């Protein structure tokens, strides 16, 4: 089913969104500043080369990307995507990571000291001053595999976790950073889909249980949402401080609205041809609401939030 892929964030429903960034003042922004969006495969059918935006109360808007993406992540400010080219890099550019800004479209290289390849998962800190990726790289003929942190803008790389190889089963998937960037959650495939808490500084892990598909940290730092595997696909809500399981919700994409009140969900109900509709799941009431402009228009759950500023 298409609903088992990764990467998701959604626009909050309400009048104000409050975002707490460590070391900075509290930022208050109107919820209407955020639109639902997802990356899709365009006419070429290779990689993800379109961004489909779903403004509230308006029709969907398609923005063509300058090249097809493989793994990618939304920027913390909702105005860009970070990712690696699915095939060859843009003309005149080297292999590596790129930032694609919207409105106007602008491509810039992310300063990295090595070329990450392969990339299984990619996450950016709330401040945008570091990225963490699961995968590997080659340097002086040697291949290194595991989880790595890259400081920005210096591009300095540091190993967090080591893996014996750069294969799918050995990788950590669905990396999600805590708001302060000091911890992450991810699912480790080889260990029975173990949900692991990763200490970024110490390179240590702690299992929160097995049988999970993916997980993510809420922007306010209070919750970790994790999706069960094994056909049940319930959403388990963990207290991020005590790591206790505090609530069981329906299926979702386990990704958060900026105010940490909603989780993204995608439903295929009433749709055909494998399409679906974006919904929000209220973590307190368990009620789902539909984003009408996305009705039966989602074909891959690479959904996220983007700033309304990017819409022409």
* Residue 14: band (very low, low, confident or very high) from pLDDT cuts 50, 70, 90: very low
**Of 147, 45, 31, 58, which is closest to residue 86 (Cα–Cα)?**
45
Instruction: Give the pLDDT confidence score for residue 44 in this predicted structure.
Output: 56
pLDDT average, residue stretch 101-130: 90
Q: Is 244 helix (H, G, I), strand (E, B) or coil?
A: coil
Domain boundaries, the chain: 2-310
d(CA 158, CA 137): 12
pLDDT at 7: 29
Percentage of the chain exceeding pLDDT 70: 86
**Structure-model confidence comparison of residues 257 and 187, the more confident one:** 187
Half-sphere exposure of 234 (CA within 13 A, CB side): 9
Q: How many CA atoms lie within 13 A of 206 on its CB side?
A: 10
* pLDDT digit string, tens, across residues 273-288: 788 888 888 999 999 9
- Give yes or no for a contact between 100 and 80, defined as CB atoms under 8 angstroms apart: yes
- pLDDT digit string, tens, across residues 123-174: 988 888 889 999 999 998 999 999 999 998 999 999 999 999 999 889 999 9
What region, left, alpha or beta, does residue 211 occupy, with left being phi > 0 and alpha being psi -120 to 50 degrees? left
Q: Is 289 helix (H, G, I), strand (E, B) or coil?
A: strand
Per-residue model confidence (pLDDT) at position 78: 83
Pairing of strands 142-151, 157-162: antiparallel
Binned at pLDDT 50, 70 and 90, residue 89 comes out as low
| pLDDT tier, 302 (very low <50, low <70, confident <90, very high otherwise) | confident
Cβ neighbour number for residue 210 with a 10 Å cutoff: 15
End-to-end CA distance of the chain: 33
Note the pLDDT tens digit of each residue in 28-62.
333 457 787 888 876 555 668 888 888 877 888 88
Residue whose structure tokens are 């539909």? 290
Of the listed ranges 61-70, 242-251, 263-272, 296-305, the one predicted with least confidence: 296-305
Instruction: Supply the pLDDT for residue 145.
Output: 96
How high does pLDDT run on average in the chain? 82
CATH assignment, 2-310: 2.120.10.30
pLDDT of residue 17: 30
Tokens coding 142: 């040697």
C-alpha span between 213 and 230 (Å, rounded)? 9
């Amino acid at each position: 089913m298409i609903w088992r892929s990764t990467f998701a964030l959604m626009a909050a429903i309400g009048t104000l969104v409050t975002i707490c960034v460590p070391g900075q003042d509290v930022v208050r922004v109107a919820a209407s500043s955020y639109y639902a969006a997802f990356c899709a495969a365009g006419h070429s059918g290779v990689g993800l080369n379109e961004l489909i935006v779903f403004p509230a109360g308006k029709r969907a808007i398609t923005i063509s990307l300058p090249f097809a993406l493989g793994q990618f992540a939304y920027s913390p400010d909702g105005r860009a995507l970070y990712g690696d080219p699915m095939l060859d890099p843009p003309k005149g550019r080297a292999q590596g990571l790129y930032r694609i800004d919207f409105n106007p479209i602008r491509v810039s290289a992310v300063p990295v000291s090595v070329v990450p390849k392969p990339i299984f998962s990619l996450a950016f800190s709330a401040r945008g001053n570091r990225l963490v990726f699961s995968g590997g790289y080659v340097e002086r003929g040697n291949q290194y595999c595991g989880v790595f942190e890259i400081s920005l803008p210096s591009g300095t790389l540091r190993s967090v976790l080591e893996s014996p190889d750069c294969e799918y089963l050995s990788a950590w998937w669905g990396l999600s950073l805590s708001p302060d960037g000091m911890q992450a959650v991810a699912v480790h495939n080889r260990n029975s889909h173990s949900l692991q808490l990763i200490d970024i500084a110490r390179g240590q892990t702690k299992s929160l249980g097995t049988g999970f598909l993916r997980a993510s940290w809420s922007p306010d730092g209070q919750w970790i949402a994790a999706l069960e595997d094994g056909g049940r696909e319930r959403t388990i809500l963990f207290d991020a401080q005590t790591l206790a399981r505090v609530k069981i919700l329906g299926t979702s994409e386990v990704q958060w609205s900026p105010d940490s009140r909603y989780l993204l969900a995608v439903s295929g109900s009433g749709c055909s041809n494998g399409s679906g509709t974006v919904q929000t799941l209220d973590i307190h009431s368990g009620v789902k609401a539909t984003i009408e402009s996305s009705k039966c228009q989602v074909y891959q759950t690479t959904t996220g939030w983007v700033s309304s500023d990017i819409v022409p």
